Structure 1
């Protein structure tokens, strides 16, 4: 059974403070579909393979829900109880939270922002490894990328076929696959150049 509260008025509400945790985007996106409790959020995110895009643990999810509630993005929408299980609080967007989410999302998609992945930071110093070790490290990364891509493809298939998720709900997996394809191509091409000797290398100790 479930208990619902009436919707709160939108007048006079300002957009809430934006969270630093990107897991908040996933929570807000799920609540755009329908109100739900954190357990259902976690299940939906895992079924769609979203743990590859967000750092998802039970603790981080509940912390995010508490922070979004505290800052006015979401609010309790009653409770839901199945059988003898404890009642679970169901959440929904506040009017200000829904408006703030779409504005935040529009900005993130519209405006490229600097990102600083660890690989980008390290690859500038590839020469310090020496030719053999650098090529080996790139080959190992390529193998890891292929394994991760295979897992992602299986999660995408399961989300679409087993859980009947519409393509739009898992489209981030397509983007992740495209980015992984591009990275894999660059990594393998660069490893080829190092092994062929066509990539100019710093003369440090003859490696």
Structure 2
């Protein structure tokens, strides 16, 4: 089970991994993260950078290594990762790689209540999603191709994973879309009748582990 961390924002891990490459001030930290694509990999919110760095310093994961001034610009504080910060970074990375953790996914949330929309509309929406997924897959493949022969695959594993997940989702969405079009989706007619104001001959129920039924009800 993932343990509670003093700094739980993934941006904290991004900062630690950036400083592991060498001391830097906040501007350099941001520049490194951008060049390494961390805003994409870890959902970085740049407005939180100062707060995250301060929190890391508060808990002893980073420390001030000095300062510098560039011309008339304000003095910049330079940070470096500490021994405890290195240990936290390593432990956090081990956890992320070894422990699957349920994620809140917007698509899954939509699927859980897709019955509130008519089947034909759901099919149209899935078609739009598939088109967008295909476009993203094409862009991701193109990005990976630009790095072939110039960058070690060690630094591209996360994009390779993203591509595999996108392809898997697109394949699954196509299967669902096809079943709605060819009529093979289970209880499709009952679903249509529901939206036409006809009471289905049977209510589809699912029993929870505790024995409670989750009965479908016609939407208002």
Find the partner of 2:194 among 169, 184, 204: 204
Cα distance in 1 between the residues matched to 2:110 and 2:16: 34
Matched, 1:185 2:185: no
Equivalent residue pairs, number: 190
- Which of 43, 49, 54 aligns to 1:61? It is 49
Task: Give distance in 2, aligned partners of 1:204 and 1:175.
Answer: 40
2:108 equivalent in structure 1:
120
Tell me the secondary structure at the aligned position of residue 136 of structure 1. helix
Question: 1: distance between equivalents of 2:78 and 2:142?
Answer: 30
The Cα of 1:27 is off from its aligned counterpart by 1.2
Deviation at 1:148, TM superposition (A): 3.0
| Structure 2: runs of 5+ lacking an equivalent | 198-220
Residue in structure 1 matched with residue 158 of structure 2 by the alignment: 172
CA displacement, residues 118-159 of structure 1 (integer Å, 9 cap, x when unaligned) = 21122122222221111111111122223333444455556x
Larger RCO: 1 or 2 (CA < 8 Å, sep 6+): 1
Q: Distance in 1 between matches of 2:22 and 2:152?
A: 15
> Which of 63, 67, 75 lines up with 1:75 in the alignment?
63
Moved more, 66-75 or 141-150: 141-150
Distance in 1 (CA, whole Å) between partners of 2:67 and 2:151 is 25
CA RMSD of superposed structures (Å): 2.7
Output the TM-score relative to the length of structure 1.
Answer: 0.78
| SS of residue in 2 equivalent to 1:33 | coil
SS of structure 2 residue aligned to 1:115:
coil
Q: For residues 74 and 6 of structure 2, what CA distance do their matches in structure 1 show?
A: 31
TM-score, scaled to structure 2: 0.74
